[in-house]
Homo-oligomer: A and B are copies of this chain.
């Protein structure tokens, strides 16, 4: 009735004795409990067949005594699911992506999935290789947070595994996408600066292509009847922000406010402004896009347009793990919110109680 002893392949497995050494398999458990291996599976997985309580108890005892742990590789091979998700980020050193990785990992963990994290360092070639290696590892789905907005990251459909693009501003053909309404977010932020009386607002942004945050910045200034401010294209890093701010504010005809497309750039800009002898917010108001923890501890605390990172991560994970077969791939757009700090010139909202959460939160923008 019990299955036969496992055949040693190289002499390293035990030949006798009741407590097997080395990896304990379900067949050891079956033998110890005096049941078939199928029953062990039924108990471990609570199904798909019912098991008499007395039998189940014997199996659970055996599992405890032997210290049995199911082999995930075998299970994955059999079921076709590894219960793993891949996450591709462009740079984990950027707190925005670090926070995103945390959020994704926690959402996935709640659903019993682990996360294989890879870091492309913003290199499209590396990104492609990493995505391929993730599929080779049989992940059940891949979340890609890419810097390559316009371009096709990789030939997604040939991947043979569900993909969702996270941190993408707009819909893309045939791919699930999740992102923030960056245009509206930028508009909201710049509008706030205009509300403080600024009429010349610089922009630091990335890449070469015109994207949503630049449009939002224009939307706000044009709606107020103002001319476009000056603009600097730099990488989404502290250094990029530093260089951009030196350029925008180093001359005589400088703007009185800055909208930075990322917290990292704003942090770099703060240093540049300090070196130029400009005070924030007295001489230059600063507002940035992202809303990471680091921005909260910048000096002065940054006023930010906050991306709802947790919600976005949750959506991406949910779509991968519980896809809606009814629906074609679509784009989920999240609404960013304004979080007031000190860098925009508002009165300090929570001076002296910096240990708690962000201060005022503006109402979500109208759809």
Residues of A that sit less than 8 Å from B by CB? 23, 67, 69-74, 76-77, 82, 84, 92-93, 95, 98-99, 101-102, 105-106, 109, 114-119, 132-138, 158, 160, 238-239, 242-243, 267-268, 270-272, 274-275, 293-294, 296-299, 301, 351-352, 354-355
Contact = CB atoms under 8 A, between A and B. Distances in A.
Those 3 A-B pairs whose CB atoms lie nearest each other, nearest first: A73-B76, A73-B77, A72-B137
Contacts of A352: 275
Contacts of A82: 73
A238 B69 contact: no
A307 to B, nearest CB: 15
Q: Give the interface centre of A106, A138, A296 by most chain B CB atoms within 10 Å.
A: A138
Contact of A160 (B23, B72, B297): B23
29 contacts: A23-B160, A69-B132, A70-B136, A72-B136, A72-B137, A72-B138, A73-B76, A73-B138, A92-B101, A92-B102, A92-B105, A93-B98, A93-B99, A93-B293, A95-B95, A98-B98, A105-B117, A105-B118, A106-B119, A114-B118, A116-B116, A238-B293, A267-B297, A271-B297, A271-B354, A272-B354, A274-B299, A275-B352, A298-B299
From A158, A297, A301, residue with most partner B Cβ within 10 Å: A297
A117 to B, nearest CB: 5
A172 to B, nearest CB: 23
Given A102-B92, A105-B118, A355-B243, A299 B271 contact: yes
A270 B352 CA distance: 13
A105 B133 contact: no
Contacts of A105: 92, 117-119
A75 to B, nearest CB: 8
B114 A101 contact: no
Given A105-B117, A115-B116, A271-B301, 17 more contacts: A69-B132, A73-B73, A84-B137, A93-B98, A93-B102, A98-B98, A105-B119, A114-B118, A115-B117, A117-B117, A238-B297, A239-B355, A267-B297, A270-B299, A271-B297, A271-B299, A298-B299
A151 B53 CA distance: 39
Contacts of A69: 132, 135-136
